């Protein structure tokens, strides 16, 4: 189950990337995703070797801060979409939305747990 949550954001992002037309952003994001998958796999194998056990407070903090970040990130995305709709600006690019969704998936699943486990 832990592996599913580790690679779920990456699989979702790769699925979204299939629908983007060829652009330099697609190649850049693909390279970034592949490198993040490799780093995540390496870190997970290193943690398994050390067999670090975290108590329930740390796991609760990871869940709490990840959910808070996702809430505020999605709220910000809703405000941006409403702003572009109200201003009648049809210049919201799909690459921007995909990059934003990428960051909102990677930060709660990779960066927040790393920060909380270290401190």
pLDDT in tens, 41-84: 777 777 665 555 667 777 788 788 888 888 888 888 888 877 87
Segment 78-100 shows an average pLDDT of 76
Q: Name the band, by pLDDT with cuts 50, 70 and 90, for residue 103.
A: confident
Total structural domains in the chain? 1
C-alpha dist (Å) from residue 13 to 5, 26, 63:
13, 11, 21
> Mean pLDDT score of the chain, rounded to an integer?
73
* Alpha carbons 40 and 116: distance in angstroms, whole number: 16
pTM of the model: 0.48
* Alpha carbons 55 and 37: distance in angstroms, whole number: 26
- DSSP, residue by residue, 48-117: HHHT----HHHHHHHHHHHHHHHHHHHHHHHHHHHHHHHTT-----HHHHHHHHHHHHHIIIIIHHHHHH
* pLDDT at residue 104 is higher than 60: yes
Domain carrying residue 25: 2-118
């Amino acid at each position: 189950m832990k592996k599913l949550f580790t690679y779920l954001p990456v699989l979702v992002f790769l699925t979204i990337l299939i629908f983007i037309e060829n652009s330099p952003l697609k190649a850049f994001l693909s390279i970034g995703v592949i490198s993040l998958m490799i780093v995540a796999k390496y870190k997970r194998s290193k943690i398994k070797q050390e067999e670090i056990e975290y108590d329930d407070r740390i796991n609760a903090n990871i869940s709490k801060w990840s959910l808070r970040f996702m809430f505020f990130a999605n709220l910000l995305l809703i405000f941006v979409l409403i702003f572009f709709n109200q201003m009648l600006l049809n210049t919201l690019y799909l690459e921007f939305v995909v990059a934003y969704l990428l960051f909102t998936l990677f930060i709660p699943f990779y960066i927040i747990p790393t920060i909380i486990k270290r401190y």
